[in-house]
Structure formats: structure tokens, C-alpha cells
Amino acid sequence: MVDTIEHDLLIVGSGLAGLRAAIQAAKTSSNIKIAVISKLQVMRSHSVSAEGGTAAVLFPEEGDSIESHVYDTVKGSDFLGDQDVIEKLVNEMPSEIYQLEHWGMPWSRREDGRIGQRNFGGYSYPRATFAQDKVGFYEMQTLYDTCQKFDNIEFYNEWFTTSIIHDGQKFCGITAIKLSSGTFYTIKGKALIIATGGAGRLYSYSTYSLSSTPEGLDMAYRAGMALKDMEFVQFHPTGILPSGILITEGARGEGGYLLNKDGDRFMKKYAPSKLELASRDVVSRAMMTEINEGRGFKHETGVDCLKLDLRHLGNELIIKKLPAIREISLKFSGIDPAKEPIDVRPVSHYMMGGIHTNIDGATEIQGIWAAGEAACNSVHGANRLGANSTAECLVWGKITGDLAAKYVLEAKSPQFPLHLVSAEEKRIYDGIFRGSGSVNPYEVRQDLTDMMNEKAYVFRNENDLIDGLKKLRELKQKTWKHVDDKAKEYNTNFSNVMELDSMFRVAEVILVGAIARKESRGAHARTDYPDRDDKNFLHHTLVYYDTKEPIIKKHPVTITKYKPVERKY
């Protein structure tokens, strides 16, 4: 008999979106039992790594405007963003900044005492609201602290969720393993919010924490929900070498330069009006072009890179506004950014795609919502602007928390399909834990992430993508589904192999979507189809799970005001 727990609302994931959803649900009704389930301790969620800012229009009287933020985001998305969703983000954000302030968020300040904002790529006004360069950490601390005020929020730290249980129409519950004991549980609920973040660890050179693997996306995919626009992976221009840890866009927002080996500020060639603060896809492509044409540096590890120069900003400004960057640079490269430039190159940073939702974060199954990076409500289209992701987490955390709580108050629990729990138990215990095989799953994982780095990076082409898909399917066939460590408590070997199982399915979705999209748009740059093709590809990609081959469908883009035009910075 499987152990069972019951709550009204289940929130899987404890980053910004998950915590914001929990607070909103608890505020909506004090009578509902809310469970926040995380495979980590809450404050280890990857949201703490967000550095640069959270975008919002705070000072319209000084020249910023809602309309400007909307248009910058539409243009940033390369016209694939749903414009009604973008309008919702921009209109809701200012109140979220002030709400965080009231909950104790230590925003950085201007000289006049008002909340500080800095320049960020792709914006026509400095609207990235910041707290030094540790924005995510402070936001998480503020939200976690606020969660403690509600008696009806219960945290399940270090629980590994493995599947979503539904009856074909309605949500019924999830299955999860309590990592401290190794016990397999069913957690029943009336509603679910998936807030499990992105899947950036599909790439070996990545800004993501090691826990950012795609189980949340995979659970939704296996449960019959579509993954949308997964071919659009954002490569942040400045990952430090050799680790890939993020050097915030705030470093360029404060005035940092990108230099090639000739000492040239090369961005003037690619984006004369915005320079280093063009959108991320534009800057990343410019950097890879410089490297490919022989104007890069060789890092001591043999990797090609460019330099980010902050020396002219001065030690005082760096210590005041970019203290974490200074620390990261000293610790991970042995470089003091006030004295010498930092070695950087584009690094996997964000998934524009995710679980297909509508404008309110509702998925295709009744009683299930998705929020934050795990969701794709199409707010970012083909390329996200920096500082819009923490904003998205807050806005749709609030929206989904409110809607899910109201749904729970009315919902009746459907008949629970116990056979699905047995099938899931069999899949993970017979299929993985007790599996037999001689191939090392960690080597397979490294091969998979290296392949993604090589075949689906900043520039892509048909041959590489097809070759990558072939290699992925060959790797998948190997006998890696086995767990050598048979311990029950904290069996990281078991959870690592389950993560790899999810990584294969989601990586396949990225590759089939990228092969099907025969154009260049936003972060998806095809050297064999260098132009954007609105006639044939101004649509979202939906991918559904099938045991044989993923099924691809199209979904329309919502255009309200802004017709697609050529995108220049």
C-alpha cells in the first residue's frame, strides 16, 4: 500500500513563482491546506541566483511608460510574444515591486531615496529594479519570510516529484519520493501549480544550478500537456569561464564594455544604437560571430572567449552596485574586475518555452496551472528581455495562486485512479531503480549535455540538429537505467538517474522543434535559414508526447497592436 498525504492545493517548486503563488493562495482563503513541494530546501531554489533586476515601470513622470515596456518586450520577443499576455505582465508589475517593498524587500535606492533602477538590454528606459546584484536572493528571502506568516502553508523540503495523476480531464494528485527516507508517496489534491523552473542543465555550459533539470516539464509532457516553443533557448552573453556562472547584464547596464582581441568594442558593428545593451540574442550572436571569425581570446582551458571590461567603472562603484560579480570573478576566475577584464562567452541561461498555458497560467488539464519559467504563456516569445523573468514569476505566481485557491473552494475530488500510481511505481522502481545495465549514467548525462552544447547552441543548422537528434536517440538506447547505490535515504544516484530520464525526453522536444522551425527568429538562429519567415513560421510550436515520436502542432500568436517589423537595435 502506497503512503498517502492529502492537501487542497499542491505547488511543486519553491522558487519565486512557487512562493508567490503560495502567499496569494493563502491570502485568498485561510481555509485551504497548501503544500509547497520542493526537491531542495526552499532557499536553495535556483531563483536565488537571479542577479540583475526585475522590470517594472515605476517613474512614468520621468519619461518611462507602460506602452514603452510593452513594445520593448514585443520587439525583444521578435514578434512571437502574445501581446495580450505582455500587456498583462507590464500592467501588473509596478504593484508587485511595491508589494515586495511592503513585505521587506531591500531595494537599492537612488540619491533621492526612491527605488533604484538600472539599464538592461533591449529596453528604451532604465527599468530593471535592483537590489545590488543579488535580486533573486533578496526576493526569495522576502517571499519565504512572508510565507511564514500563514499557518495554512506547509513546506515539503527535499521531496522528488515523479508524476502527475489525473483522470483524463481533472487533476487528482502527484506521486513523490521523500528523499530523507526513500519512501514513495501519493499526495492527493484538488489543484496543482507547477513552478519547477527551467531545464538549463540540458547544456553542460550553463548558468543554472545543478538542480535545474526538467522533471516538472517532463511530468506535464507525460501527463498529456503540450510543451510550447521549446526550441527557443536563451544564451546569456556573459557566462564566466570556465564555470559558466552568470555575470549579470547589470554589469553592462552599469557601463561595462565587451572587447575582442583587437581591443575593439565590437558591438558598434552589430547594434550601433544599443551597443552592449541590445537584446541578449543579438549580443550572443555578435559574440559568436567575433569568435568564429578569429577575433576571440583563447582561455587557458582551450575555450574561445571574449572580454568584459569593467575597469573604467572604478572599484567604488563595483563594490557598491556589483559586489557579487566581484566575488564570483575573484573566486571562480581569480580576477579582480576593477583591475583586469573578465573572460566570458554565451552560456545557456533560460528557456523561453515551457508547459503550454493560457494568459492566466491554466494548462490543458482542469485544475492544473503553471507559473514562472516552467510555464510558457508566450510572454517572452522567441527571446526574453532581461529582468522580465523574475517579473513573470511574481505576476503569474500571484495570478495562479489566486485562481487555484478559488478553484479549490468549489472543486469536488474526482474518483482517484489508483492504477496510475501503481504504473508510476513500476516505471521508476522496476524501470530505473532495479534496472540492470553496464553503462555509466553520469557519462551518458555528460555526453547528452555536451551534444546539446555542440549541436543546439547559439547558431544552428539542419545537419547539426539532425545529427544531435540521432546521437540523443542512440544514447537513450544504451543501458544507463540502473542505480548502483541501493540505499533508501538520500539516494542521489537514484534521483540523478531519474533526472536523466526526464532530460532525454525534454532535450528531444527542443531538437524536434528546432528542426521543424526553418527560419531564424530571436534566440533560434539557423545559419541555413538566416531570415525570419513570418509567412510560414509566425506561430507557436506545440509538442505532445507519444511513445514513438513527439507530435508537433501549431498554435497562433496573439497580435493586438504591433504588426511584425524588422528588428534592429
Active-site residue list: 236, 252
Distance separating alpha carbons of residues 379 and 91, to the nearest angstrom? 13
Q: Are 350 and 373 in contact (CB under 8 A)?
A: yes
In the chain the first and final C-alpha atoms are separated, in Å, by 61
Q: What is the CA radius of gyration of the chain?
A: 23
- Residue ranges in 459-491 assigned as alpha helix (H): 462-477
Distance separating alpha carbons of residues 374 and 199, to the nearest angstrom? 8
Distance separating alpha carbons of residues 434 and 481, to the nearest angstrom? 9
For strands 54-55 and 159-166, give the pairing. unpaired
Distance separating alpha carbons of residues 192 and 523, to the nearest angstrom? 31
Name the residue type at position 5. Answer: I
Most distant CA atoms of the chain, gap in Å: 68
Residue among 456, 465, 391, 409 at smallest CA distance from 204: 456
Locus of grid cell 558591438: 267
Instruction: Copy the grid coordinates of residue 124.
Output: 528604451
Distance separating alpha carbons of residues 465 and 523, to the nearest angstrom? 15
Q: How far is CA 554 from the centre of its chain?
A: 22
Q: How far is CA 314 from the centre of its chain?
A: 32
Q: In 85-148, where do the E strands start and end?
A: 117-118, 128-129
Length of the chain (residues): 569
Residue 317 burial class via C-beta count within 10 angstroms: exposed 0-12, middle 13-18, buried 19 and up? middle
Name the residue type at position 18. Answer: G
Residue among 128, 155, 129 at smallest CA distance from 143: 155
Q: How far is CA 402 from the centre of its chain?
A: 22
Q: Which helix (H) or strand (E) holds 71?
A: helix 66-76
Name the residue type at position 26. Answer: A
With DSSP H G I counted as helix, E B as strand and the rest as coil, what are the percentages for the chain, rounded to 5? 40, 20, 40
C-alpha to C-alpha distances, 468 to 6, 440, 458, 473, 525, nearest whole angstrom: 43, 20, 14, 9, 16
Instruction: Copy the grid coordinates of residue 525.
Output: 538562429
